[in-house]
């Protein structure tokens, strides 16, 4: 599912954005990637979906050897992934339903399927009545749920969600966690990046902990050597 072996990522102004990371996430897991701001969570995700290349090390995601993936193969990797970005990346001039439809069209879905699947996804996150709203007309929690609907509409094998409860009340955060649990029950592996220790304490799950680019803790039983 995910395997990283001795992965490092250096930026010009941060030589150790990630340093010597070895970890494995198995199919079906729901796991937190925890770490304070700047720990390297978003960078780690970018390596996994081939937005950035590692400076060293090997990465496999859903059978793709990501660190060496040719640019023209990247769309095939991305088709197996659901991505919830830290900054959401919703299209501001498109309605909620259009945001989802656009993601489907990019992936080459058939015309007839797009509307049906988009409506289903909206219903699934409880936004069926908000489909014609622009993102700016939605609350923070609704925007987050829209980003999740877009990420799961194609039934990804692996969902990477970056700080999906970042700016939300505890009630809205709980709704989001419940959604991810539902996705996980459908068989999608979920990795949820968060700096929020309260969240991790309230809804405990297996976790990977990053600190200043280094792996501090990988408590999930199947992780690391001998696991
Ligand atoms: N594109 C980039 N260029 C230079 N430095 C970066 C870049 N992206 C991230 N960094 C640095 O890498 C470190 C980890 O950042 P990030 O992965 O965003 O952490 P987190 O998501 O855990 O808050 C930080 O020190 C950040 O400043
Ligand atoms: Mg981040």
Residuewise pLDDT in 10s, the chain (227 residues):
999 999 999 999 999 999 999 999 999 999 999 999 999 999 999 999 999 999 999 999 999 999 999 999 999 999 999 999 999 999 999 999 999 999 999 888 888 899 999 999 999 999 999 999 999 999 999 999 999 999 999 999 999 999 999 878 888 999 999 999 999 999 999 999 999 988 999 999 999 999 999 999 665 444 444 43
For residue 111, being part of any structural domain is answered with yes
* Residue 96 within any structural domain of the chain: yes
Give the Cα-Cα-Cα angle 116, 79, 89 (nearest 5 degrees). 75
Residue 151 sits in which domain range?
A: 90-155
Parallel, antiparallel or unpaired: strands 81-84 and 64-65: unpaired
Please tell me the pTM assigned to this model.
Answer: 0.94
Spatial separation of the C-alpha atoms in residues 163 and 85, rounded to whole Å: 8
**Which residues lie with the beta carbon below 6 Å from any ligand 1 atom?**
11, 13-14, 17, 35, 37-43
How many angstroms separate the CA atoms of 186 and 152, rounded? 11
From the alpha carbon of 36, which atom of ligand 1 is closest?
Answer: 22
**Rounded CA gap, 193 and 204, in Å?**
14
Q: Count structural domains, the chain.
A: 1
**CA nearest 15: which of 189, 219, 212?**
212
* Position 94 in a domain: yes
Q: Of 123, 191, 124, nearest to 157 (Cα)?
A: 191
Nearest atom within ligand 1 for CA of residue 9: 12
Which residues are found with C-beta within 5 Å of the ion, ligand 2? 41-42, 86
Note whether residue 180 is domain-resident. Answer: no
In a domain, 141, yes or no: yes
Atom of ligand 1 lying closest to residue 37 CA: 23
Ligand 1, from 10, 17, 33, 213: best to mutate by most atoms within 8 Å of Cβ? 17
Ligand 2 center from residue 117 Cα (angstroms)? 30
CA dihedral for 31, 125, 118, 187, sign (positive or negative)? positive
Is 133 within the bounds of a domain? yes
The reply to whether 124 falls in a domain is: yes
DSSP assignment, residue 227?
Answer: -
């Amino acid at each position: 599912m995910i395997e990283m072996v001795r992965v490092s990522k250096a930026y010009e102004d941060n030589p150790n954005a990630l340093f010597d990371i070895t970890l494995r996430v198995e199919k079906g897991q729901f796991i937190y990637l925890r770490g304070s701001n700047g720990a390297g969570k978003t960078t780690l995700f970018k390596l996994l979906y081939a937005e950035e290349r590692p400076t060293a090390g090997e990465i496999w995601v859903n059978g793709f050897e990501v660190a060496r993936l040719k640019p023209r193969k990247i769309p095939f990797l991305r088709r197996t992934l659901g991505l919830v970005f830290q900054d959401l990346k919703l299209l501001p001039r498109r309605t909620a339903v259009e945001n989802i439809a656009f993601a489907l069209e990019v992936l080459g879905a058939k015309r007839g399927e797009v509307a049906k699947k988009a409506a289903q996804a909206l219903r699934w996150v409880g936004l069926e009545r908000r489909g014609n709203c622009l993102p700016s007309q939605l609350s923070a929690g609704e925007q987050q749920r829209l980003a999740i609907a877009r990420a799961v509409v194609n039934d990804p094998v692996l969902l990477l969600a970056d700080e999906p409860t970042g700016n939300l009340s505890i009630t809205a955060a709980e709704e989001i966690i419940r959604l991810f649990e539902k996705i996980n029950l459908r068989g999608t592996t979920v990795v949820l990046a968060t700096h929020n220790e309260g969240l991790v304490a309230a809804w405990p799950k297996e976790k990977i902990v990053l600190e200043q680019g280094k792996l501090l803790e990988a408590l999930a039983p199947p992780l690391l050597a001998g696991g």
